[in-house]
Amino acid sequence: MQLKKNLSIKEALAVATCSLLSQTPQDALATAAEGDWDFDVSVLNYQEASRVRVVEWDMKSKWQYKDDSALSFSIISDSMTGSTPSGAAKVPVPRSDTLSSASGIKVASDVGEAAGKYLASLTSFVDRRNGFVVDWENVFSRTITTNLTGSYSVETDYDSLGLAGSAGVDLNNKLTRVEAALSWGWDTVSPNLQDGPPPEGAIVGGNGISTPAYEDGHKLILDKGLVVTQILNRTTLTKFAYTNRRADGYLSDPYKLVTVKNDISGLPKSYYYEKRPNSRSGDNLTWELRHQMAGGSVFDGFYRFYWDDWKISSHTLDLRYRIDVGKSQYVQLHGRYYTQSAADFYTPSLTEEQQQNLPQYMSADYRLDQLATTTIGFKYGFNFSQFGHFRIRYEQMAQKGTDGDYTQLNAKILQAIVSMKFGR
C-alpha cells in the first residue's frame, strides 16, 4: 500500500516536472497555452484633430498543435480618410486650404484672387488598405524553435510584400533565450497622380502638376535583429534587442512638396517634389523589463534608442502599469514619451537663394522635423469566461514639432479587442 502510494507521488511529480521542464521562456511569453484555436478581433478608431482618421479591423486566427507549433492567419483592413500636410506652404489669405479628392497634390481652388496660383498645404485623401499575414511557429527541438512569416498588403497606391524568419534557442536551463531574425520586404509605390509617380526633386510647374510618366517606385527593405531574453527571478523578465533596417530605392514620399518662398513677400514662388536619399540604414537598441509585484500588479518598462544615417536619433520611453481588480478585471495605465532630432535634409521651405543652388536632398515632411510625442492612455480588461477576454483602451497623443506650418498634432486612439480560446 505504501509502495503504491509512493509510486503515485513519483508519477505525479514526474508528470509535473516534465510539464514544467517543457516550458521554455517562449512558453512564458506565449498566450495560447490553453486552446487549440485562438481567435482575436480588434477594431481601432484613430482620429487626429482636423486631419487623418483611420478605422482598422484586425482578425487573427491561430491553431496550436500538440507539439506547440502553431499556424496563424491574420486579416487587416484599414479605412483611411482625412487630410495631411503636403509640404506646400500655408498662404496667409482667406481660403479653404483643403480639397476633397483622392490621394495626391491638388491646386487650391478657393483662394480668392489667388485661385489656382498656390498648391494646397493640406491634401485630403481616401484610401483603403487590405492585407494578410501568415505565420508558422515550429518547435524544432526541445530548445530550438523557428518562425516563418509572410505578409502582403495593398492600398490604392502602395503594395507591400514581406517575408521574415527567425530562430531561437533556449540556454542556461531555459533561463536565457537567444533569437536571431531576418526580414525581407519589397514595397511598390504607385502614386495616384495624373502622370504617374514623380521624379524626385522635379519642379512642379505652372498651376498644376506636370511630370513625365515614370515607372513605379520600389523599395527593398532588409531587417536584421538579435534578441536576448533573460528570466531574472520568479517575477521578473527582461529583454535586450538590437535591430537594423536597411532600405534602398524610392524612399521619397511622392505626395510631399517643398516650397520656395518669395524672399520679400514670403508667399510661395514655386514648388518642388521632395527628394530623399535613396538609401537609409537605421539601428535600434531596446531594453524591456517586466515585473510582477506582490499584489499581482505588473509593471512594464520599455526604452529604445534609435539612430540612422539621415542623422535622425530618437529616444522612446514606454511605461505600462497593470492593476488587477478582482479575479477577472484589470485596468492599465500607459505613458509614452518620444523625442527625435531632425533629418539633416529637413527644411520647412526654401529661399530664393537656395533655389539657385538646390540642395541635393530636401523634404518638408513634418515627420522629419525635430519633434516630441507624448501619449497617455487608459485600458480596461475583462475576462468574461475562462476562454474569453475583452479589453478596451483610450489614449491621447500629442505631437509637437519645431519648424514648419504644421507643428502640432493631436490624436485620439480608441481600440477594442476580443480574444477567444476554443478547444481542449
Partner 1 sequence: MKRCVWVVVCLACLAGQGCASIYKPPQPWERDILAQDKMQLGGDPVETGIDDKIYFSKESSTLGRSIGGGGCGCN
Interface positions, 176-205, toward partner 1 (CB under 8 A)? 181-183, 185, 187, 189
Q: For residues 199-238, which are near partner 1 according to CB under 8 A? A: 219, 221, 223-225, 229-238
Read off the C-alpha cell for 335: 505613458
For partner 1, the binding residue among 7, 14, 15, 16 (CB under 8 A) is: 16
- What's the closest the beta carbon of residue 356 comes to partner 1, in angstroms? 29
CB of 376 to partner 1, least distance (A): 13
Asked if residue 158 binds partner 1 (CB under 8 A), the reply is: yes
Cα dihedral sign, 139-140-141-145? negative
Residues that bind partner 1 (rule: CB under 8 A) add up to a total of 114
- Let me know: does 405 contact 85? Beta carbons within 8 Å: yes
Q: Which of positions 351-380 make contact with partner 1 (CB under 8 A)?
A: 367-368, 371, 373, 379
Nearer to partner 1, 235 or 262 (CB): 235
Applying CB under 8 A, does 340 fall inside the site for partner 1?
A: yes
Q: Which of 36, 55, 56, 77 binds partner 1 (CB under 8 A)?
A: 56
Q: Which of 6, 8, 31, 210 binds partner 1 (CB under 8 A)?
A: 31
Pick the binder of partner 1 from 37, 307, 337, 387 (CB under 8 A).
307
Q: Which is nearer to partner 1, 20 or 115 (CB)?
A: 20
DSSP secondary structure of 131-153: EEEEEEEEE-SSSEEEEEEEEEE
Answer yes or no whether residue 252 interacts with partner 1 by CB under 8 A.
Answer: no
387 forms part of the interface with partner 1 (CB under 8 A): no
Distance from C-alpha of 198 to C-alpha of 193, rounded to nearest angstrom: 8
Q: Do residues 52 and 412 touch, judged by C-beta distance below 8 A?
A: no
Compute φ and ψ for 198, nearest 5 degrees. -80, 145
- Specify whether the CB–CB gap between 302 and 288 falls below 8 A: yes
Binders of partner 1 among 88-117, rule CB under 8 A?
none
Strand 279-292 to 268-273 pairing: unpaired
What SS3 class is residue 20? Answer: helix
DSSP state of 2: H
| Three-state DSSP class for residue 5 | helix
**Taking the CA atoms of the chain, what radius of gyration do you get in angstroms?**
26
Question: Cα–Cα distance between 102 and 104 in angstroms, integer?
Answer: 6
Among 64, 121, 145, 160, the residue binding partner 1 under the rule CB under 8 A is 160
Is residue 145 close enough to count as binding partner 1 by CB under 8 A? no
Interface with partner 1 includes 344 (CB under 8 A)?
no
Q: Which lies closer to partner 1 via its Cβ, residue 129 or residue 269? A: 129
Place of cell 479575479: 327
CB of 407 to partner 1, least distance (A): 13
Q: If residue 377 lies in a helix (H) or strand (E), which one and from where to where?
A: strand 371-385
